[in-house]
Amino acid sequence: MRFMILFISDLHLSLDKPEITRRFLNFLENRAAGAEALYILGDLFDAWIGDDDPTPPNGKIKCQLKKLTDAGTKVYLQPGNRDFLLGERFCRETGVMLLGDFEVIDLYGVPTLLTHGDLLCTDDLPYQAFRAKSHTQEWMQSVLNKPLLLRLLAARWYRLRSFWHKRKKSQDIMDVNQETVIQAMKDHGCLHLIHGHTHRPNVHDFQIDGHSARRFVLASWTKEVGQALCWTPHEYRFETI
């Protein structure tokens, strides 16, 4: 029986990032094949404009994910701020199971909270306002009803707009708010939290009502290197991919 769970996030896969795509496909075929489960905590894709988008490398990625799930590895995906339009068709074609914004799992006896991380960045008020609007059923359906070409152009514009907006914001605003982190962990009854989004890999130790708590931040993947958090019944470690 496989006793290993892997966590990754923020690959931002797209046509213009072939190095990351190749590394991820190799990761699925080899490293992830020996795992009990793989959790992808958001922003697997740099932009997901609908399950009907055939733009490369979507087809190869869906195919390799299906091979992995068919072979017995459970794959869970928590949509991020770039790919929250992932839907039921993607799940059918890959065998991947979508998670909600906050999910608690039993990590070998330890209740652990999983989230992408953007909901923890509550100091970024303009982003939180946009997120609340864009995650309504009406907004998402309005986008998905538009022609594919128009969605492709809109995604390009959004990525460019996001790039320039980030350059204008302070790094502190784009990081998590510690009070929000603590409240989320208390609300879900967890002393362990795993998330991505901030691209600031680290392990943070702190206290919640006198109890030791720990926050694991996953790394983003680049064309040079990727990273996975590997968890077994006896230890955890960050692995370079």
Amino acid at 36: E
Is residue 147 over pLDDT 70?
Answer: yes
Give the Cα separation of 150 and 144 in Å (integer). 10
Q: Is 141 helix (H, G, I), strand (E, B) or coil?
A: helix
Strands (E), the chain: 5-8, 37-40, 74-77, 97-98, 103-107, 110-115, 192-195, 202-208, 211-217, 227-231, 236-240
Domain of residue 182 covers 5-240
pLDDT digits (tens, 9 = 90+) for 224-237: 999 999 999 999 99
Domains held by the chain: number:
1
Give the Cα separation of 218 and 156 in Å (integer). 26
Sign, CA dihedral 88-112-209-172, equals negative
Provide the pLDDT for residue 165: 64
Residue with token string 């996001």: 162
Is residue 212 over pLDDT 60?
Answer: yes
Q: Treating both helix axes as pointing N-terminal to C-terminal, what angle do 18-29 and 58-70 enclose, rounded to 10 degrees?
A: 10
Give the Cα separation of 15 and 19 in Å (integer). 10
For residue 72, the domain's CATH number is: 3.60.21.10
Give 174's pLDDT tier (boundaries 50, 70, 90): confident
pLDDT digits (tens, 9 = 90+) for 108-123: 999 999 999 999 999 9
Output b/e per residue, 179-210; b: 16+ Cβ within 10 A. Answer: eebbebbeebebbbbbbbbbbbbeeeeeeeee
DSSP 118: G
Provide the pLDDT for residue 157: 77
Give 5's pLDDT tier (boundaries 50, 70, 90): very high
pLDDT digits (tens, 9 = 90+) for 11-60: 999 999 999 999 999 999 999 999 999 999 999 999 999 999 999 999 99
pTM: 0.94
Cβ-contact 7, 194 below 8 angstroms:
yes
**Cα three-residue angle 220-52-45, rounded to 5 degrees:** 5
